[in-house]
Amino acid sequence: MFKRLFSDVRFFLTAKKMIWVLPLFSIFIVAFLMPVIFNKYTLELVHEENREQTKLLTFFEDLDNDGMKEKFDISNYRNKFASCLYKKNESSLIQQFNFYGNIPTQENLNTPIFNDINKDGVKELFLFTQKNDSIFINGVDFVSSKVILSGRFITTIGKGTKARDFVLRPIINHDSDADGVDEMYFLINGGFALYPRKIMAYNFVKDTFLSSINTGSQHYVTPVIKDGQLLLYSTTLASGNCPENFEYPYADHRAILFVFDDQLKILREPLEFEGVGACIDGPIVYNNEYHFYTKSTIGGEEKSVVFKMTSSGEMIKELPFKTLSMIEVSFAITVEGERRYLVNCMENNVFKTYEYSPQKMKLFQNNLTSKVGNSTLVELNIEVDEPVFFAVNHQYNKRTSLWLENLNYQLDFEIPLYVRPWNVYFQTTKNELGTVIKVTDRRKLQTYLLHVSKYYPLRFVLFIVVYFLVVLLLLSLRHYKKYRALQKNQLQQQISSLHLRLVNSQLDPHFTFNVLNTVSAKILKGDRMEAYDLMSDFSNMLRTGLFFSEANDWSIQQEFKFTVAFLNLMKSRFSRTFDFKMIVPENIKLASIMIPRLLVQNFAQNSIKHAFMGLKKNGLLTISVIEDKENYLVSIKDNGIGRVKSEEFVRNMKGNCGKGIELNRKQIALYNSLYKTTISFEINDVVLNGLVCGTEVIISIPNIKE
């Protein structure tokens, strides 16, 4: 069974099907090397600046509802007054508006209010400033390019104390008096300053303020529109900052639930929960029901419950709940057809994100929220298909991330930010490159670009194109391999044909007849041993020619053996009118040097045939081998009449000179092409005292070091 399985696998790996399988790996390689294309989102840090000196912040707001956000840079000019720099999108003009006081020092106090109070279709900007122990509101009309409100006093801070810390947050713009102009609701929470802790609203038309009572509890307000009427649900935390003789009601030694109407009057009796550290969070509004979480201490025993009530304050249901020290609703999502709410909370001093199901009144984590880990989430208003969340991981060095597509896609910010969900600052706008995100902590203002790849929807098309391109490449390589094999076979056939012609030129009938006659003459003269040697050389030549008839090359050792046998026969045939000698250094290993067959022998034959014609002295043929750094050099040297006289003899005899050398040229060219080598030869006259006294052929063979 295993043998058959192995055989099947081996067949699969070697079969033609691999041409269609191998390109799949190229898709993974391309996806790995090109993340910009195959990552749907990229988050790039494009700018970073220090904001400690001027508290510079940037805001984006679509003032005239034309679909394009304008940019506002707000800062303190040399800590003398607040300043706003404004630039209309299509204009190069930057306008500066100055306001009384300075931007408050805390990063979460700088959020302006945009409100179209004169109903001309363009929103005005209202900005809060601080000077000494007083808070002011300022306004600017961008249509008329005028400051329409400067240094309008709101309240003092820290009445009876030296503390000046506070939190100021816009809540909602709502037309409560039906005059066509929205009032601007906001809260002010003194910290150690204790005063003020209240909710306020500014009526620009009447230039008046509405104010709730000053309470001892800090407000965390959720606005709810019920049948056209504004309700403000305020939940508080028992922080225990108020002294025993605190002069205002509802001191922060307990957690309290307030419900205010649009005139900032307490609508019904507040609910109070005892115990320092007690808290109440909510509401989550679902099907006209209001869900709250509360933790309190009763009789020394801590109790945590979740309850829901009607808009009139009637209790519907109450259930025991996890013990948590903080709950903040982030955003509503739909999971498996059920409406749920992402909830930031702290459990055993560890930040977590849970889901709350109002149908079941249960808090839990699933595979969606467990991805976030020890993080808290804040929704970002970014124009993409799914909700986007800003996440702060409180376990891993305050790592900040963007979570997109229902918490299925995470992008980390390049530089960690020291922020908390309740004071995070971010602004977003769109440009031709993507979504600009400005985010800050206490030290730096960072600008990121969230880019959605335009190639992402085409990734599968690109995968298919890459796949078939690789298939085409493999098919081309396969075809080229077949072509090269065919070409190699043709070259081998041509070389074999040349070898046959060379062998035939040596072993033609006339040559054979002469050798046999010479042997016969030797026998008749009684020179039987010499006749035996001649027949032995002749048989070796025949045997070697037949044995290597299919080979393209052989070693120089074999070439020299064949050449020596041939020269012995020729020496006997020409009645010893010439002699030859072989010079081979012992350090040269002839058996490892490969050359085309009959190359040396053919040059030796040419020397005998042409160099010694008309020579009055005995001829001498010297064959030697030397080695230099790059080549082996084979020399075939004679003391004959030289090339010029030899050609004259041939012409007089009406013969054909150079036919054998031309065969050698073709043989070397084909051999070099087949084996990718560079064998070459050159023919020179041997000159002594100005006279030609022979010819030398030098064959150059590359010295290949293994």
Q: pLDDT tens for residues 150-190?
A: 999 999 998 777 788 888 889 999 999 989 899 999 999 98
pLDDT band at 628 (very low <50, low <70, confident <90, very high): confident
Q: What local confidence, expressed as pLDDT, does residue 13 receive?
A: 45
Could you tell me which residue, 324 or 413, shows the higher pLDDT? 413
Q: What is the pLDDT of residues 325-355, one digit of tens each?
A: 666 766 777 777 788 888 888 777 777 888 8
For residue 102, the SS3 value is: strand
Residues 161 and 302 in one domain: yes
Please give the Cα distance from 404 to 410 (Å, whole number): 6
In-domain check, residue 86 = yes
| Model confidence at 507: pLDDT above 80 | no
pLDDT band at 203 (very low <50, low <70, confident <90, very high): very high
Could you tell me which residue, 133 or 34, shows the higher pLDDT? 133
Q: Which helix (H) or strand (E) holds 49?
A: strand 41-50
Q: What is the pLDDT of residues 655-697, one digit of tens each?
A: 555 567 787 788 788 778 777 889 999 999 898 888 888 899 9
CA 394 to chain centre: 28
- Which range is least confidently modeled, 24-33, 64-73, 120-129? 24-33
Name, of 48-52, 226-230, 375-379, 394-398, the range with top average pLDDT.
226-230
CA 578 to chain centre: 78
Residues 670 and 628 in one domain: yes
Q: How far apart are the first and last CA of the chain?
A: 44
Please give the Cα distance from 194 to 190 (Å, whole number): 5
Residues 118 and 176 in one domain: no
Q: Is residue 60 a contact partner of residue 437, using CB atoms and an 8 Å limit?
A: no
| Model confidence at 533: pLDDT above 70 | yes
- Which range is least confidently modeled, 278-287, 456-465, 553-562, 601-610? 456-465
Instruction: For residue 319, give the amino acid letter.
Output: L
Q: What is the pLDDT of residues 557-587, one digit of tens each?
A: 988 988 888 888 888 777 768 899 999 998 8
Q: Please tell me the number of Cα atoms within 13 Å of 644 on its side-chain side.
A: 6
Average pLDDT of span 499-517: 57
| Model confidence at 5: pLDDT above 50 | no
Residues 143 and 167 in one domain: no
Average pLDDT of span 489-509: 58
Q: What local confidence, expressed as pLDDT, does residue 241 receive?
A: 86
In-domain check, residue 406 = no
% of the chain beyond a pLDDT of 90:
19
Rg (CA), the chain: 50
In sequence order, the 6+-apart residues with CB closer than 8 A to the CB of 653 are none
Q: Is residue 306 a contact partner of residue 321, using CB atoms and an 8 Å limit?
A: yes
In-domain check, residue 597 = yes
Q: What local confidence, expressed as pLDDT, does residue 32 receive?
A: 63
Residues 183 and 232 in one domain: yes
Please spell the DSSP secondary structure of 677-703, one letter per residue. ---EEEEEEEEETTEEEEEEEEEEEE-
Total domains, the chain:
4
In sequence order, the 6+-apart residues with CB closer than 8 A to the CB of 271 are 256, 257, 280
User: Would you call 630 exposed, middle or buried from its count of C-beta atoms within 10 A (0-12, 13-18, 19+)?
Assistant: exposed
User: Would you call 162 exposed, middle or buried from its count of C-beta atoms within 10 A (0-12, 13-18, 19+)?
Assistant: exposed
Domain end call among 321, 336, 360: 321
In-domain check, residue 496 = no
Q: What local confidence, expressed as pLDDT, does residue 612 receive?
A: 81
Average pLDDT of span 396-419: 77
Name, of 78-82, 213-217, 659-663, the range with top average pLDDT.
213-217
Residues 571 and 693 in one domain: yes
Sign for the CA dihedral angle at 483, 485, 486, 487 comes to: positive
In-domain check, residue 678 = yes
Residues 164 and 146 in one domain: no
Residues 214 and 304 in one domain: yes
Residues 184 and 286 in one domain: yes
What value does the mean pLDDT of the chain take? 80
In-domain check, residue 580 = yes
Average pLDDT of span 463-469: 75
Domain end call among 474, 490, 506: 490
Average pLDDT of span 619-636: 91
Domain end call among 321, 356, 372: 321
Residues 176 and 313 in one domain: yes
| Model confidence at 284: pLDDT above 50 | yes
Residues 258 and 227 in one domain: yes
In-domain check, residue 502 = no
Q: Is residue 149 a contact partner of residue 139, using CB atoms and an 8 Å limit?
A: yes
| Model confidence at 107: pLDDT above 60 | no
Q: What local confidence, expressed as pLDDT, does residue 504 receive?
A: 46
Average pLDDT of span 608-619: 79
Instruction: Tell me the residue range of the domain where 76 lies.
Output: 41-154+422-452
Please give the Cα distance from 142 to 75 (Å, whole number): 18
In-domain check, residue 500 = no
Residues 311 and 168 in one domain: yes
Average pLDDT of span 109-133: 88
